[in-house]
Structure 1
Amino acid sequence: MPTTSPSEPAHKPRQPTPADYRRWRQYLADERAEASIYRALADRREGEEREILLGLADAEGRHEAHWTALLGDQIGRPRAASVRSQILGFLARHFGSVFVLAMAQRAESRSPYSTDPYATPAMAADERIHEEVVRGLAVRGRTRLSGSFRAAVFGANDGLVSNLSLVTGMAASGVSSHVVLLSGVAGLLAGALSMGAGEYISVRSQRELLSASRPTQVTLTAAPALDLDQNELVLVYKARGMSQAAAEHRAAERLGYFTCDCDPSLSLQPERAAEEDEHEAIGSAWQAAISSFCFFASGAIVPILPFLFGMVGVSALVVAAVLVGLVLLGTGAVVGLLAGASPLWRAMRQLLIGFGAAAVTYVLGWIFGAAVG
């Protein structure tokens, strides 16, 4: 039964049309741009990550050669890459951040090669694999960011939504703009201090729990005095997840009865805690607390800016809502980019949640003001 070579299209395509040639020229421009992006990112990396990125650039070069060969004398003048590729290229050359990898991951996931009759099965498979490779590289940056980034995003959004809700609720109750402003400032200070303290306690407690779970050196100091016939040391290793055989083997080594390297998984290894990385997922307590405080304050000040500049009444509320909406859209888009998802949907979700909370508070404030009045 005949098979298709990975370097050939899955089925014989029709005769190329002018539209095909235009599409191929765009593919060629984008492949060149993507190869340039990966090389620019590689210039900012070292070791394994650099080699991986250069490998991706080489793969894009193979795809470039495929479209160049198909175009032949129809290659024409070089075309500009897509807007997305141009933005990625600019970011990669000037910043080289995890945002570029997150955006590249999304771009790889939307490759048209799986449905294009002129792309080979190998090219389509390459693009699917590239998405996973870029995802793996992006995970490293996301992990380093996640602790402080989580506190920053949560802090900013809490500040925006909670203070906008407070301001709208107070305004709806019928109090003066001066009281609304004072309420907003009080909400900013109270919320920022509460967020910072809560984040510090949360992260610090999590680190203390992890520290309490790490193995200690007690097996080294207590082992010589243990009774072999009543060997609790075996229980220690079983509690750590070892099988009965592995635990007995390790206990015998600890007691000094023999040393055997025949099975590396059972051989004696120093019992030392893994090195801590302050940039791992949970981050440091002070870093999380300071980030949470600063970003809550920066978010909470937005709704009261119109009142600080002397605006009053409905116009101040409208301006506050517009400013908060823009910031919510921005933070939502950033979260979407980092997650490799649609920034537009994440931005709209953030906006709807924030405005929904403010609308509910406004109605409650209006009801309370009417009842008191």
Structure 2
Amino acid sequence: MTAGPRIAIDAMGGDVGPAAMVAGMARVRRKDPDLSFHLYGDEALIAPEIARHSGVAAATTIHHAADAIEGHEKPSQAIRRARTTSMGMAINAVKEGHADAAMSAGNTGALMAMAKLALRTMPGIDRPALAALLPSLGDQDLVMLDLGANTECDAQNLVQFAVMGAAYARTVLGVDQPRVKLLNIGTEELKGTDELKEAAAMLREATYLPFRFNGFTEGDQLSRGEIDVVVTDGFSGNIALKTAEGTARFVTDLLRRAFTSSLRSKAGFALSKPALHMLKVHLDPNNHNGAVFLGLNGLVVKSHGSANPTGIANAIQVAARMVRNDITRKIGDDLDEFRAHAFAGDAI
């Protein structure tokens, strides 16, 4: 095995299972040959896919798992079968130090429950959060969290999310001082819930942390390119994410219908094809794939269930980048700094 990041992969998760997983592994390893993989799932289904991608075979260890988590399973049911399932075994590989990060395209609730139970939360973190990259009009994507792991959050949770999200942005976006905002129903300081107001007050005082807190933002400003990290509770975050994804599909479908409505429109389509291709690439969720559970004593990445090999490769790249940049340590250092000032009375 190579000396690069070791990624444990649930081969049975997602809509297409081992075929997309192995193709994605092969694609990313062509760009990053130091990667190695521990692949968990039905060996009879995995082995033929590995044979189709000979370049990944030498870097992959197959671990047979006779069981897999179904998309409809409740987290409580999934936890009871964790040790025998491909998802649970991939997470356990991180816990036992056999892998540096785990990745699955399977059941999100089950993945979060298993990961939290096996890896536990970091000191100073009450709840882990699900973070992902969203496209924007700026020079780079933006980080948004929480996207569904916690439907209700207090002010302390939101502050912790801000610290974790900023560390993630420094890692994946390369921004030294990420611009952080809280999602709200208005930008005025008096608007929003008590939890949002309290969190904003704490973040305004935390000027010693490596990010810039810029107050509140509304949902229509998320894509403008003026924010690096958007912080919210999982209920609002999941709604915002699904709304953005639905809007992207709506615009794409509307353009397709408009360009096929007449001969003149079809001629316009031919002229506009390069620009439309750029739009399609920018909005394609596969190009932004790889949500991360932040706040655990180990790295776990969630892929879209419908991800194609390009999306799988991007999710693996996210995991490898976090390993190489030691994001868990960065989050821990920032939390220690925050707690030290809070204990001294400076942060609250």
Using structure 2 for the length normalisation, give the TM-score. 0.27
- Between Structure 1 and Structure 2, the one with more strand by share is 2
- Between Structure 1 and Structure 2, the one with more helix by share is 1
Using structure 1 for the length normalisation, give the TM-score. 0.26
